[in-house]
Amino acid sequence: MVDFDQFRQTFFEECDDCLSALEAQLMEFQAVNSDQEGIEEAFRAIHSIKGGAGAFGFDRIIAFTHEFEALLDQVRDGRVALSEDVTAAALRAFDVLTDLITAERTGSEPDAGFETNAMAELTDLLVHDENAKTKAAGPASQPDSQQESGVARPAATSLHRFRILFRPSDKMLRRGNEPILLIRELQRLGDLKIDVDLSGLPTLEELEPVVCYLGWSLELVTGAGQSEVAEIFEFVEGDCDLQIYDAGVSAAPSQGPAPEGEAEPNAQTESNVPECQADDAARPAPAGPSRDGEEKSRAATAYTSIRVELDRIDRMVNMVGEIVIAQAAILQQVDDPLAESHPQLVESLQQFLRHTQNLQDSVMAIRAQPVKSIFDRMPRLVRELAHQTGKKVRLISSGEETEIDKTVIEKLTDPLTHMIRNAVDHGVEMPDVRKAAGKPEEGTLRLSASQRGSHIVIELADDGKGLNRDGIRRKAIERGLIAPDAQLSEQEIDNLIFRPGFSTVETVSNISGRGVGMDVVNENIRKLGGRVLIRSSEGEGSTITLILPLTLAVMDGMVVRIGPTNFIIPLTSIIESLAMRRRDTTFLPQLGEVLRFRDRYLKIYDLHKLFGFKAADDDVLGLLMVIETDDGELIGLRVDEIVGQQQVVVKNLEDNFSNTQCIAGGSIMGDGQVALILDVSGLRDLEAARRSSGDDPDGGGGQAGGEAEDQAA
Amino acid sequence: MTEGTRQNRPVTVLDMGSSLDMQTAETLAGLLREALGLSRPVVIDASAVERVSTSAIQLLLAMDRAMAGAGEELTLEHPSGAFMAAFADCGIRPADMNWKHLSESADG
């Protein structure tokens, strides 16, 4: 069977990379900040997408990228000036192309004519002259015939003649790569003479349809460089024998290929492009002349990265985690007498510790990806939102190279999208309002990422009107989120926007006023072990800050003892810890045991009772950890002892246990004991379940409780 | 695969449909082998073909050789422009084929 899916997936992943590179360059165009290399990079990105689409027969993408590429080609050779119109058309084309690729990826079919306007816009911008005939392809046309496909390439000042020996391996067709489409791509570059070798064709009975038995000897006369010729085959590297020879300058460009005898390869003209063999990586980088350094650059970067399944990396991360645990266990057994008697052993162990730490950092770095992959999606969102709202908005991104765990990155898209929607819809004012306020008509969003210690900080700042605190407070009272006489600081009022279902807009808009956006931000970030902060200044704008852990595989935790067992509380949840006595608490019928804590009541959760441990001393309540739950509520968690702060390797329990309510995972401590990581938000659910089942987790009595019930009566 | 007549002779007519891509290659191979086994003239109706893969071209080449070797007539009927273009782009010239063109391209 042909493994199409795997190669389709690879193509789409590469499309993501290309689109990301393309959009980055288009943004440079927009900022009038582009250089020739940037234009070349944009061209290469679109060319790569076209090449891949050709291999898979994605006709609409092929046709569209053909026009897009033609325009960028004319921009790079100076025939089309990089004007505002060209940039705007290219940005619109980028959006359309992204949708076309998404449609192919998801198996949906865009409406007929979806890309027609954008493509016509590209075509209209092309310079049509004698040397640059450019086909205006229809929306669903495929460049099928030689007549159609051979004319798109403009004549250059000098034409080169390339001889290409191309023989697909057994794998090529199995992997969904189609030689005819590659040949057609070559035809687009210039005049192509095709000689096919049929000698390997077996009988009909012996023929396996998924094996290619043909080989080709091709001669191409083109103004394109060798790298462009080679790029056509970049998706079939490893699936063919390929040799490309530059047979020199063609003296008579319009007269077709030179005589046969001149095409023999020789040491001086042999291509820098390696044959598509598995051992390519072992070859030295080519040292021959290159076109604008492009080949050198390609050779230098071609083998610097490989794609590895995430599952394999996760297995490695887990194994390194095990090594860290084993090492901690060894170290715990090194007591003073042993250290004195075996100093060499201790020194070696310490060295081992350093190496293990480095190994862990290196492995974690493999999972890390630049936030660029999600930042790059945001300019389009801003453009669309600006268009929908009639506002003028500019997005400036920085720190895109900041790296963060892939799992975290995947879960950042929704929160960032909501933040940007919210900023454009509620933060940035209409142009006339901004002008009247003495601001530029165009609002600015600044999206940045940076690493601070073991955390990644992502900020979105707008220069809009800032939060309307009176409106937020009024709405919070109306919704019963706060009491009418509640005394809240500015920060506390600002934080109300993260409460579930909160929305301050009078008319719910279709952009962000559904009252779910900022709640989703808060919830998602907290689930990632992060925190959300907001700062706002009326008339000057707001800044939302996301503080995220570098990785989900290792967590900073506080180890606490409850009864005989150690538990781990995520450090990011802990506000502070208090020493307290039971007489400091009050029993309220609806809430259970509470503690007055800075003008508010903290609900106290006693894990002795919830988890069925033997109750501790009646009066000495011990320590209370003040914890902030996912939705921002402060609760108190009774513990017996704070063992210490520790970085722990998170182990998933779901593979072996179900229904682990209140438990987010486990970790193996240095002494080999398992400590469970508490899901503090789940405690309320567990307690509520106990209450509803009639199993009173607060014990249903005690002096304090009795007094409270009397008072209530 | 259907039974038909051409010039009052019974023939096997193979309708190529619109797509001769990789996904249909195994089916095409089976169809051609079955038709070859019938030992009578075969007509390939390629009038509706819009897409042709290298795999299909190889199979048709092998069928062409097998039919010639067996002394049976193979006729290509009303090939579409896309069909002819694929053979041309593959570098296959009319002289490479033994089959008989019953008419020119149906669509131009």
Check residue A443 and give its pLDDT.
94
Q: What residues in B contact A177, CB-CB < 8 Å?
A: none
User: How far, rounded to the nearest angstrom, does the alpha carbon of residue A668 sit from its chain's CA centroid?
Assistant: 30
Select from B44, B50, B51, B49 the least CA-distant residue to B1: B44
Residue from A643, A639, A631, A571 nearest A605 by CA: A639
Whole-number pLDDT of residue A691? 65
- A553 and A540 Cβ atoms separated by less than 8 Å: no
DSSP per position, A241-301: EEEEEEEEEES-GGG-SPPGGGG---TTTB-SSPPS-TTGGGSPPP-S--STTHHHHHHHH
- The CA radius of gyration of chain A, in Å to the nearest whole number, is 32
Residue type, A25: Q
Strands B42-45 and B74-77: parallel
For residue A255, give both structure tokens. 């007269």
Residue A195 vs residues A51, A526, B71, B87: alpha-carbon distances, Å: 22, 63, 28, 12
- Residue in chain A nearest B62 by alpha carbon: A204
Taking the C-alpha atoms of residue A242 and residue A272, their distance in angstroms, rounded to an integer, is 11
- B/e letters for A82-95, b = 16+ CB within 10 Å, e = fewer, are beeebbebbbebbe
Distance CA A288, CA A266 (A): 13
Q: How far is B71 from chain A (nearest CA, A)?
A: 15
Q: Which residues of B touch A212 (CB under 8 A)?
A: 54-55, 58
Under an 8 Å CB criterion, which residues of B touch A? 21-22, 25-26, 28-29, 32-33, 36, 51-55, 57-59, 61-63, 65-66, 81-82, 85-86, 88-92, 96
Please give, rounded to a whole number of angstroms, the shortest distance from the CA of B48 to a CA of chain A: 14
Comparing C-alpha atoms, which of A5, A6, A71 is closest to residue A42? A71
Which residue in B55, B57, B61 is closest to A210 by CB distance? B55
Chain A residue nearest residue B27, CA to CA: A209
For chain A, how long is the longest CA-to-CA vector?
Answer: 109
Nearest-by-Cβ selection for A179 from B33, B54, B88:
B54
Residue partners of A684: CB distance under 8 A and separation at least 6: A603, A605, A629, A635
Task: Write the pLDDT tens digit of every residue in A346-381.
Answer: 888 888 888 887 888 788 788 888 888 888 888 888
Compute φ and ψ for A102, nearest 5 degrees: -60, -40
Q: Which residue has the tokens 């990826």?
A: A105
Tell me how far apart the alpha carbons of residues A276 and A212 are, in angstroms, rounded to a whole number: 16
Contact yes or no for A551/A367 (Cβ under 8 A): yes
**Do the bridges between strand A592-597 and strand B9-15 make them parallel or antiparallel, or are there none, so unpaired?**
unpaired
Spans in chain A with pLDDT lower than 50: 1-2, 129-156, 252-303, 504-516, 699-713
Quick one: DSSP state of residue A129?
A: B
Residue to test with chain A: of B50, B52, B58, B80, most A Cβ within 10 A: B58
Percentage, residues of chain A above pLDDT 70:
77
Arithmetic mean of pLDDT, B14-34: 89
CB-CB under 8 Å, A2 with B54: no
What is the distance between the alpha carbons of residues A640 and A577, in angstroms, rounded to a whole number?
12
Strands A159-168 and B9-15: unpaired
Compute CA distances A388 → A425, A481, A510, A515, A626, whole Å.
10, 32, 10, 19, 44
H helices within chain B, ranges in order?
25-37, 54-70, 81-89
- Residue A198 with chain B: CB contacts under 8 Å: 61, 92, 96
Q: Which residues of B touch A203 (CB under 8 A)?
A: 62, 65-66
Query: Which one-letter DSSP state was computed for residue A424?
Result: I
Which residues does A257 contact at the CB level (< 8 Å), separation at least 6?
Answer: A161, A191, A193, A219, A221, A250, A263
Chain A residues with CB-CB distance to B under 8 A? 2, 57, 142, 144-146, 173, 176, 178-180, 183-184, 187, 194-196, 198, 201-205, 207, 209-210, 212-214, 216
Q: What's the pLDDT at A248?
A: 72
Parallel/antiparallel/unpaired status of strands A634-639 and A622-628:
antiparallel
Best residue of A4, A180, A186, A211 to probe chain B, by most B CBs closer than 10 Å: A180
CA-wise closest residue to A678 among A625, A613, A633? A625
d(CA B45, CA A573): 72
CA A693/CA A101 separation, integer angstroms = 52
Among candidates B26, B58, B81 on the partner chain, residue whose Cβ is nearest the Cβ of A214: B58
What is the structure's pLDDT at A466? 92
Question: Which pLDDT belongs to residue A692?
Answer: 61
Q: Report pLDDT for A454.
A: 63
pLDDT at A615: 62
Specify the 3-state DSSP secondary structure of A555: strand
Q: What integer pLDDT is reported at residue B34 of this predicted model?
A: 92
Mutate to test the interface with A, among B27, B32, B34, B55 (most CBs of A within 10 A): B55
Specify the pLDDT at position A168: 92
| Cβ(A398)–Cβ(A477) below 8 Å | no
Say whether A173 and B54 touch across the interface (CB within 8 A): yes
Is 0.85 exceeded by the ipTM? yes
Max alpha carbon distance in chain B (Å)?
A: 35
> pTM of the full predicted structure?
0.48
Q: Residue A33: what pLDDT?
A: 72
Q: Which two tokens stand for residue A458?
A: 């992502």
- CB contacts, 8 Å: B81 with chain A: 144-145
- How far, in Å, CA of A638 to CA of A405, rounded? 33
Nearest to A201 among B32, B61, B88 (CB): B61
Q: Which residues of B touch A176 (CB under 8 A)?
A: 22
The verdict on a CB contact (< 8 Å) between B51 and A210 is no
Of B29, B66, B89, the CB nearest to A180: B89
* Main-chain dihedrals φ then ψ at residue B93, nearest 5 degrees: -95, 160
A196 vs B92: CB contact, 8 Å cut-off? yes
Determine the distance in angstroms separating the CA of A195 from the nearest CA of chain B, rounded to an integer. Answer: 6
Quick one: angle between helices A36-56 and A4-30, nearest 10? Answer: 160
Q: What is the CA radius of gyration of chain B?
A: 13
Do the Cβ atoms of B81 and A144 come within 8 Å?
A: yes
Which chain A residue is nearest to residue B59, measuring alpha carbons?
A: A204
* SS3 category, A449: strand
- Cβ–Cβ < 8 Å for A217, A192: no
Nearest to B91 among A173, A176, A195 (CB): A195
For A211, nearest residue in chain B (alpha carbons):
B55
Please indicate whether, in this complex, the C-beta atoms of A204 and B65 are within 8 angstroms of each other.
Answer: yes
Rounded to whole angstroms, the Cα distance separating A581 from A666 reads: 30
What share of chain B in percent tops pLDDT 70? 94
Nearest CA in chain A to B26: A209
